[in-house]
Amino acid sequence: MNRELVLAQLNKLLGAENVLTDEPMSKHCTFRIGGNADFFVTTCSGGQVAAVVDFAKSESIPYFVTGNGSNLLVADKGYRGIVVNIGRNMSDVTVQGNRINAMAGATLARIANIAASNSLAGLEFASGIPGTLGGAVYMNAGAYGGEMKDVVVSTAYLDTDGNIKEIKGQDHCFGYRRSVFADGGIVLSSVMELKQGNKDDIEALMVDFNNRRRTKQPLEYPSAGSTFKRPEGYFAGKLIEDAGLKGAVIGGACVSEKHSGFIINTGGATCEDVLRLIEHTQNVVFDKFGVKLETEVKYLG
């Protein structure tokens, strides 16, 4: 199908206001890196996600789902396909007793704030993670001893056959920075079960966690958070620092002086710069300590 016909069909399915062409991905990820996506579409409902995925499959057009792009590294040449963004237009959050039902595009910060204002404890850990619920469930995001696994009780999702289904509890197969959705499926919404708590205590914990982030993490630079997963028995940042790589630079990419676990974009970094610095870091750490660092950041290209 030619480009004009794809555009016409996407406009029909989603409304022209939700379809962008040749969109710089650097605008849609926290690394601020990446070339153009042929199509960047924003969905407003599970039905629209299903429709656009069905269309992409039927025409053999590659597609990739994003939330806030806070764990993404996009190729300099961009993406030849459809980026399906689940964000602001799918971000309703409702509270019922101890349970919060959030759509995939709601940010963790907002959900955590809503939890706090309803005196619901358990999501404090998530308040400073700059992603959406969908990205956080996919990644089993976690911090300060908490992870999505601890709170998510059920998830509505689009399965690989295009059906909207629900899974509960252990069927999420949450592990370290992974969930069942790594094998396919698109998160549409999740229910989180929290505990009644004291509003002031909940807010104080969130402030404490966020202060710790500001002190320890290079939040003043674009990045995708921790570049590497935590290798069993080690901390990636400590290994990288002990390998003498703190401050190592390739082009505009740099191993943060503040937190060696973060590769930051000091201005004008290309994806190639970051990939070369990742590889260099992996090689030096492996040579010195025999530990293989795996990337936590997802690559799109």
Ligand X SMILES: Cc1cc2nc3c(=O)[nH]c(=O)nc-3n(C[C@H](O)[C@H](O)[C@H](O)COP(=O)(O)OP(=O)(O)OC[C@H]3O[C@@H](n4cnc5c(N)ncnc54)[C@H](O)[C@@H]3O)c2cc1C
Q: What is the binding site for ligand X (CB under 6 A)?
A: 30, 64-72, 86, 104, 129-132, 134-136, 138-139, 141-143, 181, 186-187, 217, 219, 223-225, 298
State the residue for tokens 């290209």: 301
Q: With contact defined as beta carbons under 8 Å apart, do 271 and 73 qualify?
A: yes
Query: Least distance (Å) from ligand X to the CB of residue 137?
Result: 7
- Separation between Cα atoms, residue 31 and residue 269, nearest integer Å: 9
Query: Amino acid identity of 187?
Result: V
Distance of CA 206 to the CA centre of its chain: 20
Query: Least distance (Å) from ligand X to the CB of residue 2?
Result: 27
Q: Is 226 a catalytic residue?
A: yes
Q: Is 80 a catalytic residue?
A: no
**Which pairs count as long-range contacts for 239-243, CB under 8 Å and 24+ apart, including other chains?**
239/285, 239/289, 239/291, 239/293, 240/281, 240/285, 240/293, 242/288, 242/289, 243/281, 243/284, 243/285, 243/288, 243/289
Q: With contact defined as beta carbons under 8 Å apart, do 81 and 39 qualify?
A: yes
**Nearer CB in complex with ligand X: 3/238:** 238
**Nearer CB in complex with ligand X: 55/181:** 181
Sequence-distant (≥ 6) Cβ neighbours of residue 172 within 8 angstroms: 137, 149, 152, 155, 179, 180
**Nearer CB in complex with ligand X: 67/237:** 67
Q: With contact defined as beta carbons under 8 Å apart, do 156 and 188 qualify?
A: yes
Query: Least distance (Å) from ligand X to the CB of residue 135?
Result: 2
Catalytic residue among 124, 127, 177, 190: 177
Q: With contact defined as beta carbons under 8 Å apart, do 113 and 91 qualify?
A: no
Catalytic residue among 189, 226, 256, 260: 226
Query: Least distance (Å) from ligand X to the CB of residue 116?
Result: 18
Query: Amino acid identity of 298?
Result: K
Any bridge partners for residue 298, and if so which? 72
Cβ atoms < 10 Å from Cβ of 57: 14
Angle value at C-alpha 39, between 37 and 41, nearest 5 degrees: 115
Q: Is 294 a catalytic residue?
A: no
**Nearer CB in complex with ligand X: 41/72:** 72
Catalytic residue among 23, 124, 147, 296: 296
Both tokens of 47, joined, read 């039905």
Query: Least distance (Å) from ligand X to the CB of residue 4?
Result: 27
**Nearer CB in complex with ligand X: 97/184:** 184
Query: Least distance (Å) from ligand X to the CB of residue 8?
Result: 26
Catalytic residue positions, numbered: 177, 226, 296
